[in-house]
Chains A and B, each alone.
Chain A
Amino acid sequence: MAAAMVSSAGGLLAMLNEPHPSLKLHALSYLNRLVDQFWPEISTSVPIIESLYEDEEFDQQQRQLAALLVSKVFYYLGELNDSLSYALGAGSLFDVSEDSDYIHTLLAKAIDEYAILRSKAVESSEDVEIDPRLEAIVERMLDKCITDGKYQQAMGIAIECRRLDKLEEAIIKSENVQGTLSYCINVSHSFVNHREYRHEVLRLLVNVHQKLASPDYLSICQCLMFLDEPQGVASILEKLLRSESKDDALLALQIAFDLVENEHQAFLMSVRDRLPAPKTRPVEAVQAVETSTAQNENTEGDLQMADETPSQTIVHETDPADAVYAERLTKVKGILSGDTSIQLTLQFLYSHNKSDLLILKTIKQSVEMRNSVCHSATIYANAIMHAGTTVDTFLRENLDWLSRATNWAKFSATAGLGVIHRGHLQQGRSLMAPYLPQGGAGGGGSPYSEGGALYALGLIHANHGEGIKQFLRDSLRSTSVEVIQHGACLGLGLAALGTADEDIYDDIKSVLYTDSAVAGEAAGISMGLLLVGTATDKASEMLAYAHETQHEKIIRGLALGIALTVYGREEGADTLIEQMTRDQDPIIRYGGMYALALAYSGTANNKAIRQLLHFAVSDVSDDVRRTAVLALGFVLYSDPEQTPRIVSLLSESYNPHVRYGAALAVGISCAGTGLSEAISLLEPLTSDVVDFVRQGALIAMAMVMVQISEASDSRVGAFRRQLEKIILDKHEDTMSKMGAILASGILDAGGRNVTIRLLSKTKHDKVTAVIGLAVFSQFWYWYPLIYFISLAFSPTAFIGLNYDLKVPKFEFMSHAKPSLFEYPKPTTVATANTAAKLPTAVLSTSAKAKARAKKEAEQKANAEKSGNEAGKAKAASDEKEAESMQVDSTATTVEKKVEPEATFEILVNPARVVPSQEKYIKLMEESRYVPVKLAPSGFVLLRDLRPHEPEVLSLTDAPTSTASPAGGAAAAGQAQQASTTSAMAVDDEPQPPQAFEYASP
C-alpha cells in the first residue's frame, strides 16, 4: 500500500545525506521497506549506504540495518557473494524464518558457501578460516529446522555442511528415530560422494543406532559392512545368537543372509573367523562377552541341566545354552560362507527351470555348420540359458554336434559346463573330472578342454573358492601349456575373487612373467580378480610390467586387472586413474576407462561422468572411446533412469565404436529394468548399418529385457521375433547373428529365473556382479570371457526359510495379474501348418522328393527328429513361417481373452518373484509364518507362529548331477510333448505345471 504511493525513492536517498543521524536512520528504515520496489534507484546510492555501515559512530542497530539494505540491493543486482557478505554484517536482522525469495536465496547461498568451506577444511587439512557469522547463520537455520520438525531438511544440511554434531542432534530429536536413521543411511549412500566422509557419517549412524533401546540390527550390520568392521558385526551376531529368544537367532540368520547378498567375500570371511567358538565352560565365555545376559543364560542353563539326565551334570560337558549357541553358530557360519544360499539357489533354479530347448534347437539348426563363431555362440547361449540350473540336456543330446568345436571353441564348450553347474559346490569337481588334466599321466585330453575345465571349476566356485583353490593352484603349477595356464588363471581368479591371497598372487605372477600372450592375458585379469577393491601397490607393479611387455594381449589383461584393483575406491583411485589415462599406450588408457568405471561404479559421480564423456569424444583411439562410453554404464547403474538421457547423443555418433559403447552402457546400467527409454534408445541401434553395433545393441537389449514379460512391454515380443528373424536369415552378418544368438541366451538366462542385478536390495553394490559384467564386456576381444556374465545373474526368488534353514510350505500373494509376470510361453513348432504346407512343396518337386517327404511324415509321427526336418522346411520358407507364427500367437491371445484374468495369484514358497513384481507381493493374513524382515524377495527368515504343528517342506531334493541318457530316451518317448514342455524330464523330478495353468481361477 505504502509502496504504491511514492513514485521514487529519491527523497529518502537524499535524506541519507542529511547531517542529522536520526534522519539517516529514518531514511534507512524506510528504504529497507521499499527496497523490493526501488532497488534500481537505491543501487546508485549503495556507496553511501556502505559508508553508513562502516561508520563507527553509528550505533550497532543502524549499521546492521544499512548492511541489510545493501545486501538486499546486491541480491537484486545478482551479486550474491557481496549480498551474502553484507547479510552476514546484518547480524540478527537477517531473519532466517522470513518467507521471502531474498531470504531463501541467501540462505541457500550461505549453506553452500559454508559447506564448501567445511569440506575444504576437512579435505585439505590446512586451516580454513570460517566466518563465525556464517557459521552462526547456518546454525540458526539448523536449529530452526529442528524446532520446526523438518528433520530431513536439517539432516540434509548437516550432512552437506559436515556438521555431524547437528546431524546427531537432528536424529535424536526426531519423533521417528528408526525412520530418520534409515532415511539418513539412504541419503549418505546416494548423496555423499566423498568416501571418507561417508564412512564418518555411517560411523555416527552406527553409534546413534546402538544407543537406541531397540536397535535395528539389520541396518547396523549393513553400515558396519560398509565401514568394513567385521568385529562389530561379529559381536552383534554373537549377542543375537547367544540370546534365549529364537527370534533373535532368526534375526541373526537374516542378517547373515543380507550380508551374503552383498557378495563381499573377504568381509564375510573375517566376520566368520571372528565369531567366537563355543567354549566348554559357558560361565567364562558368557561373562567375557556380556555380563548382563550372562546371569540369565547361566541360570537358564542350570535349570535345563537340572532337567536333563544325570549324565549331563558333569562340569566339562557342554552346557545346553552353549550347545544351542554352537548349533546356531554352525548355521550362521554356513550362511556366511555362502554355502547355504548357494545351495538353496541351486535347488530353486533347478526345480523352477523353465528354459525352452526349442529355441536352442532352432538356433542350432539354422546356424551354418562350418561357421564356428555362430557354433560357439550357440554353446554360449545354451550355457547362459541354463546358468546355475545344472540342466545340461541340450549338450548331452547333441554330443555329435558339440564335437565340432575345436581348439578354443572346445575350451569354451567345456567352460560352459561351469556356467551351467554354477554353485554346484559339492559335485563340481566330480562333474568336471573327465575333462580335467590328469596329474602326471600326461593325459589324452586336449589342452583346450582341460583349460576349459579349470575355467569351469572357477565359474562353479566363483567367489566361494575355499575348497577348490588348492586344486587350481596345483593344476596351474604343474602345467606349462599356455592354454591350460589360461584356464587355470581365470579359474583361480574367480575362485579367489577379492581375497588378495599372497601365495596365489605369486603363482599367477610367475605365469605372467613367462611372457606368453595367451597365458599372460588371463594372468593379468586373474590378478585383478584376486585383488578386487584392495588398491594395493601391486597395481603399480602390474603397470610396470604392462609397459615392459610387447604383447598387446598381456597389456590388455593387465590394464583390466589394474582397473579391477581399484574397484569402489572412488577418490582413492584418482592418482592411478590419472596415471593410466595419460599414458601413451591406448590399451593402458583403455584400462584407465575401466578403472574410472569401477572406482566410481554406481556412484553417479559427476566428476567421473565428466571425465568419461571427455574421453568419449576426444581420445584418438576408437577402443578408448568405446570403453569410455561403456564405462558410463557402470558409473550410472545406481541411477538407471539417467543413462539413456546421458548417452542418447552419443548413440547417434558418427563413430560406430561410440554407438556400440552407448548401447552397452545402457545395457549394463539398465540391466533387468525393462526401462522404456532404454528400449527406445536401443531399438534403432539393433538395425544399425554397422554389424558390431547391431551385435552390441542386441546383447544390450537382451540385458535390459531379461525377465520382462510381453504383457508388461509389447516390445519384448517384437524383440524375440526380431532375434528369431536374424538367426534364421541366411544373409545376416556373422557378427550380428552372434549377437542375436547370445541375446536369446541372455533373454532366457538361468532357466528364466534370474535377472542381471548390480545392486543388492539394500542398494549396495554387488561386487561379483559388477566385476562379472566388467570382464564380460571384454568379450569384444576374447569370447570365452562371455561366461563372466553369469556372475551378474541373481535369482529372482522369494525363498522363505524356517529356523532350521529349511524351506517350509508357505503361501503368499502377488497382487497383480499373473500374466504380467509369467514365464514366456514356450515356443511351439507349428506342426499343423508345416504339415499342410509340405504337400504343396512336394507337388512342385520330383517324385523322389515326394517319397522322402512321405518318409519324413512317418518319422514325424514317432520321432523327435521331425523337428529337425520341419526346421529345415521352416528355414526354406521363413517369411511364410513368420507370418504363420504371428497368426498363431494372435489366435492364442484371442483364446485367452475369453476367460477373464485373475487379478492376483497365489505363490508358493519358494517362488519366482521378478523385480517389477516385488511391489505387488503381499503376505496373507492368518498365515502360519511371519517374516523376520519385510522383504518381497531374496532369502527371508520366517518366524513360525505355530511351532508345534508338523511342517511341510518343499525343495528337499538336491539336483542329481548325472542326467542319464534315460533323459534323452524319455524325451524321445514323449515325442511331441517333449518339445513343448522343455526337457525337464530328469529322473524322478515331477513335471512342473505349465505356465498358463495359473491363469485359470
Chain B
Amino acid sequence: MDPQLTEVSQQFERFKAAFARKDYNTCSDLLSQLKVLLTKFTSLPPLFENSPNAAKELTIARDIYEHAVVLSVKTEDQDAFERDFFQLKPYYVDARNRIPSSPQENLILGLNLLRLLVQNRIAEFHTELELLSSATLEDPCIKHAVELEQSFMEGAYNRVLSARQTAPDATYVYFMDLLAKTIRDEIAGCSEKAYDYVSISDARQMLLFSSDQELLTYVKEEHPDWEVKEGFVVFQKAKETAPCKEIPSLQLINQTLSYARELERIV
C-alpha cells in the first residue's frame, strides 16, 4: 500500500477517534493536516488521474470531507460547513462513475439544503434542488428539507417549528434551531409592516417567545427601532425611517426634453 495513503488513513483513524470522543479541537487540527496531505493525491479532483489507488484515495478523501462537514455542524461553524461542502461536492458529482456512492450522501445534501434555508438563500436552495434526481428527492433527508421550505414559503411557521421533532438525523437539530431564529425574523418583519403597535403579550405569542423577558432582549438586540411602552410594542419609528422612494420627476422631465431637442437637431 502507498505510504501516503497509509499515513492518511492512520491520521483519519485518529481523527475519527477524536471525533467519537467529541474532542473537536483535536479534530480541527487533524483535519487541516489531512487536507494538506490530500493535496498530494493526484487522483483527486480536479485532476482525477488514474493511479492504481485512485478508488481508495477518492473514497477516503470523500470520507474525510464528509466528516469535515459533520464536524463543522457540530462546531456550529457555517463558513467551514460551506467550504467543506463545496470541496466535497466534486466527489459526489464528478466522481460518481469512479466510486460507489456514499451512504452519507443524502444526509449531507439535506444538511446543505437546510443550511441554505437557514441563511435564507432560497435561490441557491432551488438550484441545488434542480440538480437532484427524482429518486433522491424521495429520500427522507431531502424530503424533510423540501417540506420545510414549502411550509416556510406558505407561512405555516408552526409547522416548521414542529418539524424539529421529526428531524431525520441528530445533526439536523442544529439547523432547526437556527431555522426558528430565521422564522422569528420573518415574523418580526411582517408584523412591523402589518401593525402600528402590538401588545407585549400578543407579540410574545407571535414571535414564539416563552417569556416577556426573552421578547424584550430580542427587541433590544435585533430591533432597536421598536419602542416598548405602556405594554405595547410600537413599530411607528421603523416605518418612518423606511426610505420612501420619491420619483425624481423634474429631473426626468428635463432629460426627456433635452433628448427631444437633440433628436430635432439631428434630423
Contact = CB atoms under 8 A, between A and B. Distances in A.
Interface of A: 2-3, 5-15, 17-20, 22-23, 26, 30, 34
A28 to B, nearest CB: 12
B83 A17 contact: yes
B86 A30 contact: no
B86 A34 contact: no
For A13, A14, A22, which residue has the most chain B Cβ atoms within 10 angstroms?
A14
B264 interface: no
Nearest to A13: B86
Contacts of B93: 7-8
Contacts of A10: 86, 89-90
A30 B83 contact: no
A18 B83 CA distance: 8
A14 B35 contact: no
A14 B94 contact: no
Contact of B32 (A2, A13, A20): A20
B194 interface: no
B46 A6 contact: yes
Which 8 residue pairs spanning A and B have beta carbons closest together?
A14-B86, A26-B39, A6-B46, A5-B48, A14-B83, A11-B87, A10-B86, A11-B90
26 contacts: A2-B47, A3-B46, A5-B46, A5-B47, A5-B48, A6-B45, A6-B46, A6-B48, A6-B90, A7-B93, A8-B93, A9-B46, A11-B45, A11-B46, A11-B86, A11-B90, A13-B86, A14-B82, A14-B84, A15-B83, A17-B79, A18-B35, A18-B83, A23-B35, A23-B39, A30-B47
A8 B91 CA distance: 11
Nearest to A6: B46
A8 B90 CA distance: 8
Contacts of A19: 32
B99 to A, nearest CB: 14
A118 to B, nearest CB: 39
B36 interface: yes
A13 B85 CA distance: 12
Nearest to A3: B46
Nearest to B82: A14
Given A11-B45, A12-B46, A17-B83, 8 more contacts: A3-B46, A5-B94, A6-B45, A10-B89, A11-B88, A11-B89, A14-B86, A18-B32
B86 A20 contact: no
Interface string B29-56: 0001001100100000111110000000
Nearest to B88: A11
A19 B88 CA distance: 17
Contacts of A2: 46-49
Contact of B89 (A5, A8, A20, A23): A8
B236 to A, nearest CB: 39
Interface of B: 32, 35-36, 39, 45-49, 79, 82-90, 93-94
A809 B77 CA distance: 102
A15 B49 CA distance: 20
Contacts of B39: 22-23, 26
Contact of B36 (A11, A22, A34): A22
Contacts of A15: 83, 87
A518 B93 CA distance: 93
Contact of A5 (B45, B79, B82, B84): B45
Contacts of B94: 5-7
Nearest to B32: A20
Contacts of B85: 14
A792 to B, nearest CB: 41
Chain A interface helix/strand/loop/mixed: helix
A6 B35 CA distance: 19
Which of A5, A13, A17 counts the most chain B CB atoms within 10 A? A5
A15 B35 CA distance: 10
Nearest to A22: B36
A222 B94 CA distance: 70
A543 B183 CA distance: 84
B46 A34 contact: yes
A20 B83 contact: no
A9 B48 CA distance: 14
Nearest to B48: A5
Nearest to B35: A23
Nearest to A16: B83
A10 B89 CA distance: 8
A18 B82 CA distance: 11
A23 B46 CA distance: 14
A15 B46 CA distance: 12
Contacts of A3: 46
A38 to B, nearest CB: 9
A20 B46 contact: no
Nearest to A25: B39
A20 B80 CA distance: 13
A3 to B, nearest CB: 8
Contacts of B89: 8, 10-11
B96 to A, nearest CB: 11
A30 B41 CA distance: 13
A178 to B, nearest CB: 54
Contacts of A30: 46-47
Nearest to A30: B46
A13 B89 CA distance: 12
Given A10-B89, A11-B86, A20 B35 contact: yes
A26 B84 CA distance: 15
B18 to A, nearest CB: 18
Nearest to B44: A11
A246 to B, nearest CB: 71
B35 to A, nearest CB: 6
Nearest to A34: B46
Contacts of A20: 32, 35-36
Nearest to B93: A7
A286 to B, nearest CB: 75
Residue with the greatest number of chain A CB neighbours at <10 A, chosen from B46, B48, B87, B90: B46
A7 B49 CA distance: 16
Contacts of B46: 2-3, 5-6, 9, 11-12, 30, 34
Nearest to B91: A11
Contacts of A5: 45-48, 94
A990 B86 CA distance: 101
Residue of A2, A5, A11, A13 with most chain B CB atoms under a 10 A cut-off: A11
B121 to A, nearest CB: 14
Contacts of B84: 14
A617 to B, nearest CB: 13
A27 to B, nearest CB: 9
A96 to B, nearest CB: 27
Contacts of B90: 6-8, 10-11
A39 to B, nearest CB: 15
A62 to B, nearest CB: 14
A997 to B, nearest CB: 65
Nearest to B28: A19
A526 B47 CA distance: 81
Interface hub of B49, B82, B86, B88 (most chain A Cβ within 10 A): B86
A488 B150 CA distance: 103
Nearest to B86: A14
Contacts of B32: 18-20, 23
Contacts of B87: 11, 14-15
Contacts of A18: 32, 35, 83
Contacts of B48: 2, 5-6
A385 to B, nearest CB: 50
A772 to B, nearest CB: 41
B93 to A, nearest CB: 6
B79 A23 contact: no
Contacts of B36: 20, 22-23
B119 to A, nearest CB: 15
